[in-house]
Amino acid sequence: MSDTSFDVVIIGGGPGGYVAAIRSAQLGFKTAVVEREHMGGICLNWGCIPTKALLRSAEVFRNMKHAESYGLSAQGIGFDLSKVVARSRGVANQLQSGVKHLMKKNKVTVFDGQGKLEGRGKVSVSKDGKAVAQLSAKHIILATGARARALPGLEPDGKLVWTYREAMVPDVMPKRLLVVGSGAIGIEFASFYNALGAEVTVVEVMDRVLPVEDAEISAFAQKAFEKQGMKILTKATVKKLDKLANEVSVTVEAGGKTETITVDRVILAVGIVGNVENLGLENTKVVVEKTHAVINEWAETGEPGVYAIGDLAGPPWLAHKASHEAVICVEKIAGLKDVHPLNTRNIPGCTYCHPQVASVGLTEAKAKELGYEVKVGRFPFIGNGKAIALGEAEGLVKTVFDAKTGELLGAHMIGAEVTELIQGYMVAKSLETTEADLMHAVFPHPTLSEMMHESVLDAYGRAIHF
């Protein structure tokens, strides 16, 4: 076995782990990553990336069905589910190879196996129950991510009741589908299967879909989903699943009434739990709360020399949060002076359904709850030339400002390509931009981004085009 002594050892090769490894190597640390399944983690292989490939296929199919509205014609429109899935897997495999190349390029040693803490500065690596290596390092970063949560009585079986994994590589196209949970994962799969023709029902225990979003955006989204043919049940719970030969009878309680829905497949999207098992944490001072490792602002756990990042370390459960947290953690280890703690209010969230949803910062309700006097601006997609030209006139941009200081507190968007637009507001928040700065900025025409400018203007009674 080659040298097993390192400066930094990272357990987990997802968007937190592999980014930590690259930055560690850039700073001159001798670095190793221990990954038990595949480089790139869930995000690259079974989450963020392959789902976007699926949704892109759905988007193209949707546009094909509306060819006439663009002055085009198309006959015999259809899809091959196996090819749609194969394209998605191909995209994931291509990027996984890219991450492996980055490890070699940065001279990061990769160990294939399960990593486990074995005392101060020690990590054991095993594969299929057999020892692979014993590693030593002054700094150990835990980046083991999370997995889908299962509810009692609603356990997935991989055939009739799916998690995101089975939903991503379906062996059949369900005609009737129930999605339990309307967060980003649930709504993205609901959007994908609905676009391909499934009869989709979404059950959400909260009082609205996409419950972490601004209430106005959630309401807009629900109307859009229902217009597309989805059935949305809020303040609802699944009481029982009865599995038959090739369908599921689902008992749902909503509004004090109970109904039975028969579907071909069920997708569970009810949150995640941290992968804290089999890491050797029980013999350390690492504190675990609700399946997540407790850390300080520098990703340090209670165990000296042990850090935790990404989904393992708690919300927001986003790949870009994990990557940024990784950089902060490693740069703090290196003693760089310009390192700053992560401000979670400046982390954007994106949902790639149709229409897309994106946000950053405080919702209007949360800002008021925190005592802010607010000014709120809104601008609809129907007032934007580029949106109309694209045939995407359904959407809204909403901005929330501190009425006293002009600080941008939050931005909330729904519509075409808002997941690409939200970074503009994120940069503005990070730079502590005021309403005056945004008003004086020149936005190109014709672009969707002009709506961002108009929403700011609207907050102060100065909107031009609506």
181 is an annotated ligand-binding site residue: yes
Q: Which residues contact 181 (CB under 8 A, 6 or more apart)?
A: 203, 204, 268, 269, 270, 271
- Give the DSSP per-residue string, 139-165: EEEE---EEE---TT----SSSEE-HH
Is 354 assigned a catalytic role? Answer: no
124 is an annotated ligand-binding site residue: no
- Cβ atoms of 239 and 211 within 8 Å: the answer is no
187 is an annotated ligand-binding site residue: yes
- Cβ atoms of 41 and 171 within 8 Å: the answer is no
271 is an annotated ligand-binding site residue: yes
128 is an annotated ligand-binding site residue: no
424 is an annotated ligand-binding site residue: no
182 is an annotated ligand-binding site residue: yes
- CA distance linking residue 207 with residue 444, whole number of Å: 39
What is the amino acid identity at position 72? L
- Angle between helix axes 17-26 and 319-333 (nearest 10 degrees) is 30
- CA distance linking residue 370 with residue 407, whole number of Å: 14
153 is an annotated ligand-binding site residue: no
49 is an annotated ligand-binding site residue: no
What is the amino acid identity at position 223? K
- CA distance linking residue 290 with residue 281, whole number of Å: 14
2 is an annotated ligand-binding site residue: no
Catalytic pick from 320, 445, 453, 465?
445
216 is an annotated ligand-binding site residue: no
The two three-digit tokens of residue 393, written as one number: 């006139």
Helix, strand or coil, per DSSP, at residue 214: coil
Residue ranges of the annotated binding site for FAD are 52, 115, 311
Which residues belong to the active site?
Answer: 445
Residue ranges of the annotated binding site are 52, 115, 181-188, 204, 271, 311
Residue ranges of the annotated binding site for NAD(+) are 181-188, 204, 271
